[in-house]
Amino acid sequence: MPAVPFQYMLGSFKRRRLTMIITMGGFALVIFVYTAVLMMSHGVEKTLATGGSEQNVVVSRKSSQGEISSIIDGDAVNVILTLPQIAKDANGRTLATAEPVVVINLYKKDDGGMSNVTIRGVDETAFKVRAHVKITDGKMFAPGSRDIVVGKAVNSGFAGTSIGERIKIANDYWTIVGVMSAEGSAFESEIWGDSKQLQAAFNRQNTISTMTFRMTDQASIDEIKKAFESDRRLVQYEPKTEIKFYKEQSELLAAFLKALGTAVTFIFSFGAIIGAVITMYTAVANRTTEIGTLRALGFRRRSVLFSFLIESVFLALIGGAGGVALAAFLQFFSISTINFNSFAELSFAFSLSPEIIINAMFFSVFMGVFGGFFPSIRAARLKIVDALRNE
Amino acid sequence: MIVKLLIKNSLRHKLRTTLTVLGIGVAVGAFGLLRTVITSWYASVEVAAADRLIARQAVSFIFPLPYAYRDKIEKVPGVEKVTYLNWFQGVYIDKDQFFPRMACDANTLFDVYPEFIVSKEELEAFKKERNACVLGQDIANKYGLKIGDMMNIDGDIYPGQWQFVVRAIYKPRTPTVDGTQMFFHWEYLDERMKQDAPVRAGQVGWYAVKIKNPDDAAMISEQIDALFANSSSETKTETEKAFQNSFLKAYSAIITAINIMAILIIGVILLVLANTMIMSARERSSEYAVMKTLGFTGKHLFGLVTGESILIGIIGGVAGYFLTIFFVNGFSAVVPKNYFPVFVLEDITMIQEFGFAIIVGLIAGIIPVYHTIKTSIIDGFRHIG
């Protein structure tokens, strides 16, 4: 490691405060956008992933892209229920829930826009299979009634969804009796009602959309898959662990956000890099005499090179850290949009992860190195005599 | 004279000015790309015909309406033509090959949607064959499908294997019309349903209604909805524009996020330009002091500095305009056509680009101008480096 004139670097920071701050500001903006986009994408994945358990299996029709395009008929449900790998509760009842899933239109509170909200038909077993879903306000709907409970995100994001209000679904009014929370997962963006009532209301006879059950043992997923493949009555359906199922549901939206965001940040990061190049070139030009002095004092060419390069990376890192810090505040916000896969509203929070921070910092260093590279080379190439003679 | 001085001044540091122009250009290009993503998203609303209504199931778009509604809607005064469609989806090749696949009424579809242009012979051939389909030009090109080719689709909403033969290819009338859709005979779907799932037979997804006078849209919509009020499938009828808009509203969070990104990009442009101008002004402190001594006032200096700043901003804007074209072309080449059926750079985006370049130029000049005017002549002369 060559000797680097750190003292000198700090001194020059102080003298050129304004341009330094502006350059860092440029880096900060780029990193802010980059981080925010990754946080959105991660938020989508996290929201859908926390809904799933390794212990649970979701059965859907092969090649269906979301729950609403999946159809399982009642006979197949009865066959699935006979699988020995399905866990039972203390009373000997199978921990399986067969659910009709549809979407209905509700109006958003903020801009009055209309969006699709998932409505899922369940019975009390659904709360046992998904233990993280709890009624936090009001009460659970009574079996066989036309009462419903709404997820927290629905309750806060859509008009007319408070307890006691009624929603018109399939030509009948359904009363909201409770609000449920589900540890921030996608179920908070759903409405749950009695499955038999919903089947009847939507004229679904005995068909359902998906079925979810608890396995006796996590390892039995392979046996279950085999059972589905070998049974003629089940071959058109596909069992997946809940984790995997929900991960697939997040793929399109998360990938879209990531691709668009990353592409755009890369393009406009060049703006910030060029800003840094300008700052550094000017720094080199303004300090020509000083560079000559440093060289005359015995600092090597590479010391000068490193000094300028480090200065640039330092600027980028501080700017980048500022950008990440700013983006971290976004964690207090959640946004809600249509998920491409399920075709229904999904509310998710911006979510920061160590991986995102590391990515953002690497990106900062990359911008700093690129911004400082050519000016540093110019500084290192200066001849002592010429530099000292400057002006 | 002044312009000459501005040009001379901006050329004093050729490398710096070039870099600044480049920096602004790239950022303006990114801004243009983002804005194009948004305008493309709205393209479907822009092309929506004013004389077309969409009648769908009131609870949600995903529920069907009885086929029997057709005759009743047709009898509503002011209605010219009724056609109906049914979202089919299915999987073609694999799950990632997404483009709209719909069942339609072959006899009326192209009367209600004149923006899809099909030759007479192809249309006749399509009408005659039960399992024939019409493809949008973009989709036909993408998959190399020609008239007479077979398409195998694995049904999801409508289970089973489906086989279609391409009998017609439609061309979009203007570049903003979606050329990525596939239509086939509703009867083909309905017959299968009668056999496999009788409860699902005799149903259509939604009705598209062409009306004689666009001014009657609200009245006709009300009349249609009144026909089916309190039935098991109530309808909700609205203009196609309102219908498309409600779809887009659902994505408003993403659109807002993209808009915020676009604004932040303008922030980056501002920082780059302001940085350059501050540096220039600092280097020229003693020159400005000379000018002040000669009697030039703050007004003159203001013109000199912001003029240069705006000049560089505009040149950056021009560079950005060409880069936008480059980015937009690159983007539409890389991104599958079906994500954005329409991806065209709109005039408004270009106007915005230049508008922001000029505004940014003006703002970027403010800090250095303020400094220059504030600095006393003595301090100006004393300044070094």
Instruction: Give pLDDT tens digits for B95-140.
Output: 778 889 999 999 999 999 999 999 999 999 999 999 999 999 999 9
**What's the sign of the alpha-carbon dihedral B20, B23, B29, B32?**
negative
**Residue corresponding to tokens 């759903």:** A190
pLDDT score for A51:
77
C-alpha span between A336 and A379 (Å, rounded): 51
Q: Do B156 and A336 touch (CB under 8 A)?
A: no
Question: Does the structure show a pLDDT above 60 at A1?
Answer: no
Strands A190-194 and A56-61, by their bridges, are: unpaired
How far is C-alpha A286 from the geometric centre of its chain's CA atoms? Answer: 46
Long-range contacts of B228-234 (CB under 8 A, 24+ apart): B228/B69, B228/B72, B230/A171, B231/A171, B232/A170, B232/A171, B232/A203, B233/B57, B233/B58, B233/B63, B233/B64, B233/B65, B233/B66, B234/A171, B234/B57, B234/B58, B234/B59
What are A103's strand-pairing partners? A118
pLDDT score for A3:
67
Q: Do A65 and B257 touch (CB under 8 A)?
A: no
Question: Does the structure show a pLDDT above 80 at A7?
Answer: no
What are B91's strand-pairing partners? B154
C-alpha span between B326 and B314 (Å, rounded): 18
Q: Give the contacts of A42 (CB within 8 A, at least 6 positions apart).
A: A254, A351, A352, A353, A356
Q: Do B26 and A267 touch (CB under 8 A)?
A: yes
What is the share, in percent, of chain A residues with pLDDT greater than 70? 98
Which of B234, B249, B264 lies nearest to residue A171, judging by beta carbons?
B234
For residue B223, give both structure tokens. Answer: 């009349």
pLDDT score for B337:
63
A206: contact with B, CB 8 A cutoff: no
Phi, psi of B210 (to 5 degrees): -90, 130
**Residue corresponding to tokens 């996590």:** A218
Q: What is the DSSP string of B148-203?
A: T-EEEEEETTTTEEEEEEEEEEEEESSTTS----EEEEHHHHHHHHHHH-GGGTTE
B61 CB neighbours in chain A (<8 A) are 105, 116
A339 to chain B, closest Cα gap in Å = 9
A214-225 residue pLDDT tens: 999 888 899 999
Beta carbons of B156 and B102 less than 8 angstroms apart: no
Question: Does the structure show a pLDDT above 90 at B268?
Answer: no
- Least-confidence region, from A75-79, A87-91, B96-100, B110-114: B96-100
Q: Do A345 and B250 touch (CB under 8 A)?
A: yes
**What's the sign of the alpha-carbon dihedral B251, B252, B253, B258?**
positive
C-alpha span between B180 and A205 (Å, rounded): 35
Question: Does the structure show a pLDDT above 50 at B332?
Answer: yes
pLDDT score for A174:
93
Question: Does the structure show a pLDDT above 90 at A192?
Answer: yes
Helix (H, G, I), strand (E, B) or coil at A347: strand
Which of A69, A71, A102 lies nearest to residue B60, judging by beta carbons?
A102
**Chain A, 95-124: which have a CB under 8 Å from a chain B CB?**
102-105, 108, 111-116
B29 CB neighbours in chain A (<8 A) are 267
A76: contact with B, CB 8 A cutoff: no
pLDDT score for A260:
80
The identity of residue A187, as a single letter, is F
Q: Do A236 and B159 touch (CB under 8 A)?
A: yes
In this prediction, residues A316-330 reach a mean pLDDT of 95
Q: Do B37 and A260 touch (CB under 8 A)?
A: yes
C-alpha span between B228 and B59 (Å, rounded): 13
Q: Do B275 and A270 touch (CB under 8 A)?
A: no
Q: Do A274 and B272 touch (CB under 8 A)?
A: yes
Q: Do B95 and A65 touch (CB under 8 A)?
A: yes
The identity of residue B138, as a single letter, is D
Q: Give the contacts of B282 (CB within 8 A, at least 6 positions apart).
A: B368, B371, B383
A18: contact with B, CB 8 A cutoff: yes
Which of A112, A116, A236 lies nearest to residue B60, judging by beta carbons?
A116
Q: How many CB pairs under 8 A join A and B?
A: 169
Beta carbons of A48 and A185 less than 8 angstroms apart: yes
In this prediction, residues B200-228 reach a mean pLDDT of 93
* Residue B41 to residues B58, B85, B136, Cα–Cα distance (Å): 25, 22, 19
C-alpha span between B100 and B92 (Å, rounded): 11
Q: How many residues does chain A have?
A: 391
Strands B160-172 and B132-136, by their bridges, are: parallel
In this prediction, residues A142-170 reach a mean pLDDT of 91
A326: contact with B, CB 8 A cutoff: no
In this prediction, residues A276-286 reach a mean pLDDT of 85
Give start and end residues of each alpha helix (H) in chain A: 6-15, 17-50, 74-81, 125-129, 152-157, 195-201, 221-230, 242-286, 288-296, 301-328, 354-381, 384-389
C-alpha span between B312 and B279 (Å, rounded): 14
In this prediction, residues A316-342 reach a mean pLDDT of 90
Strands A56-61 and A210-214, by their bridges, are: antiparallel
Q: What is the DSSP letter of A137?
A: E
Question: Does the structure show a pLDDT above 60 at A352?
Answer: yes
Burial (CB count <10 Å: 0-12, 13-18, 19+), residue B42: middle
Question: Does the structure show a pLDDT above 60 at A391?
Answer: no
Question: Does the structure show a pLDDT above 80 at A390?
Answer: no
pTM of the shown model: 0.81
| Secondary element (H or E) of residue B209 | strand B206-211
Phi, psi of B174 (to 5 degrees): -125, 165
pLDDT score for A346:
87
The identity of residue A62, as a single letter, is K
B60 CB neighbours in chain A (<8 A) are 102-105, 116
Among B174, B213, B206, B173, residue whose Cα is nearest residue B51: B213
C-alpha span between B299 and A355 (Å, rounded): 52
A22-61 residue pLDDT tens: 889 989 999 999 999 899 999 998 888 887 888 999 999 8
Beta carbons of B360 and B317 less than 8 angstroms apart: no
In this prediction, residues B332-359 reach a mean pLDDT of 82
Chain A residue closest to B274 (CA)?
A22
C-alpha span between A168 and B318 (Å, rounded): 55
* Residue A153 to residues A157, A191, A335, A370, Cα–Cα distance (Å): 6, 10, 10, 44
pLDDT score for B181:
93
Confidence class for position A2, pLDDT limits 50, 70, 90: low
Q: Do A260 and B60 touch (CB under 8 A)?
A: no
Chain B residue closest to A276 (CA)?
B272
B283-328 residue pLDDT tens: 888 888 888 889 888 888 888 889 999 999 999 999 999 999 998 8
Phi, psi of A294 (to 5 degrees): -55, -45
Give start and end residues of each alpha helix (H) in chain B: 2-10, 14-47, 69-74, 109-112, 120-128, 137-143, 186-196, 217-227, 240-249, 252-283, 285-293, 298-334, 347-374, 377-382
Q: Give the contacts of B330 (CB within 8 A, at least 6 positions apart).
A: none
Phi, psi of A174 (to 5 degrees): -115, 135
For residue A219, give both structure tokens. Answer: 């390892």
Q: Tell me the average pLDDT of chain A.
A: 88
Cα angle at B149 between B145 and B155, to 5 degrees? 90
A170 CB neighbours in chain B (<8 A) are 59, 232
pLDDT score for A206:
82
Confidence class for position B8, pLDDT limits 50, 70, 90: confident
Mutate one of B21, B62, B206 to test the A interface: name it (highest A CB count within 10 A). B62
B22-80 residue pLDDT tens: 989 998 998 999 899 888 888 877 777 888 999 998 877 778 899 999 999 999 999 99
pLDDT score for B384:
60
C-alpha span between A203 and B275 (Å, rounded): 66
B350-378 residue pLDDT tens: 999 999 999 999 999 988 888 888 888 88
Q: Do B271 and A26 touch (CB under 8 A)?
A: yes
What is the share, in percent, of chain B residues with pLDDT greater than 90? 48
**Chain A, 142-201: which have a CB under 8 Å from a chain B CB?**
168-171
Chain B residue closest to A60 (CA)?
B156
Mutate one of A107, A267, A290 to test the B interface: name it (highest B CB count within 10 A). A267
pLDDT score for B174:
85
Question: Does the structure show a pLDDT above 90 at A176?
Answer: yes
In this prediction, residues B184-191 reach a mean pLDDT of 95
In this prediction, residues A224-236 reach a mean pLDDT of 89
Give the CA count within 13 Å in the CB-facing half-sphere of B18: 4
pLDDT score for B335:
72
How far is C-alpha B185 from the geometric centre of its chain's CA atoms? Answer: 30
Question: Does the structure show a pLDDT above 80 at B278?
Answer: yes
What are A175's strand-pairing partners? A147, A166
Question: Does the structure show a pLDDT above 70 at B1?
Answer: no
Q: Do A281 and B16 touch (CB under 8 A)?
A: yes
pLDDT score for B296:
87
The residue with greater pLDDT, A289 or A4, is: A289
